[in-house]
Amino acid sequence: MAVQVGRRALFQAVRVQATGRESARSLSCSRQYVRFGKVSPSSRLNGHGARHYSSDPKEDLHVRHLDGEDAGIVVVGINRPKAKNSISKNLVKMMCEAVEDIKNNNKVRSVIICSLVPGIFCAGADLKERAKMHQSEVGPFVSKARALITELGNLPVPTIAAIDGAALGGGLEMALACDIRITSNTAKMGLVETKLAIIPGAGGTQRLPRVISVSLAKELIFAARVVDGTEACRLGLANHSVEQNKSGDAAYLRALELAREINPQGPIAIRMAKLAINQGIEVDLSTGLAIEEACYAQVIPTKDRLEGLSAFKEKRRPHFKGE
């Protein structure tokens, strides 16, 4: 009976996911992020391997939608060089609006989160800004940052964190909310909050044990241990570890390769696969199979499924439209 009730509820949920009409969750964000037009497939955000420096808060986040054969790939670049990409009030506002915009855009097929600053992915919370906050402000700010990272994790499309430098504290928590993590071998990763007599507050205590093992997660968090990209890959914290290149964007380039592998697949199928995995992993197998059934039901009536069958029969590449 419980499975049947869960199945009915999930059918309703996946209909919303499949059509992309999910109502926007309430995140207090203003439209401040910098949005760019189209970009050539081989470049990052400011040219291949190039970075852009600015003290203008409006430059803290760059969002680009790739074009051509890469259409559907969105690259989100953090750009706070003077603050080591630390998470500030302004960055949270800009990121949550970018996430909301991506969530409501059915043309998006995958998202890459990266850094425009050499040697750093995200150093965690902006402690200089935090020190100026009144104690009463800290809790609400952490709650807003947690909500942002949760929304990042709830994006219906695949998300890839390209970690070309240090991802510490909240920076690693942001990466943990992504579906896939790719790191350079020289990158440093760790939940180091216990050094400050606090604990990870944006999902780290929950996501890290789900990504690696409970005992390993406890060890890393208790000891505030930092590991390099090679060790992160060995632990299962990263999917791939690549040797860093001279321009310092090896992880980004590998992430782009992976996004290009995902791009040609059926977009509705990818969304349903992500939903089935994310929801199913949290429940027992019987309920998980019901979730898979509900998600599968959403792809049966699509034009993309018929296009896939026709392409297979005609021995050609399918052209999926997300319909």
Report residue 316's pLDDT band, with 50, 70 and 90 as the boundaries.
confident
Per-residue pLDDT, 29: 37
Residue 79 and residue 213 in one domain:
yes
Average pLDDT over residues 287-314: 88
Specify the pTM.
0.82
pLDDT over 90 (residue 30): no
Average pLDDT over residues 244-254: 94
Report residue 44's pLDDT band, with 50, 70 and 90 as the boundaries.
low
Residue 230 and residue 300 in one domain:
no
| Phi, psi (degrees; rounded to nearest 5) at 253 | -65, -40
Per-residue pLDDT, 38: 38
Residue 192 and residue 310 in one domain:
no
Per-residue pLDDT, 132: 75
pLDDT in tens, 103-142: 999 999 999 999 999 999 999 887 787 777 777 777 788 8
pLDDT in tens, 137-162: 777 888 888 899 999 999 999 999 99
Range of the domain at 319: 1-24+267-323
Average pLDDT over residues 159-172: 95
pLDDT over 70 (residue 180): yes
Residue 46 and residue 77 in one domain:
yes
Last residue of a domain, one of 226, 241, 262: 262
Count other C-beta atoms under 10 Å from residue 30's C-beta. 10
The domain tally of the chain equals 2
Report residue 57's pLDDT band, with 50, 70 and 90 as the boundaries.
low
- Return the residue matching tokens 């890959």: 233
Per-residue pLDDT, 304: 84
Residue 189 and residue 233 in one domain:
yes
Dist. CA 276–CA 160, nearest whole Å:
18
Residue 248 and residue 279 in one domain:
no
Residue 294 and residue 319 in one domain:
yes
Residue 300 and residue 318 in one domain:
yes
Residue 136 and residue 90 in one domain:
yes
CA 143 to chain CA mean position, Å: 18
Active site residues: 125, 170, 173, 193
pLDDT over 60 (residue 24): no
Residue 286 and residue 257 in one domain:
no
Alpha helices in the chain (DSSP H): 2-19, 89-103, 127-132, 135-153, 170-176, 204-211, 214-223, 229-235, 250-262, 267-280, 285-299, 303-314
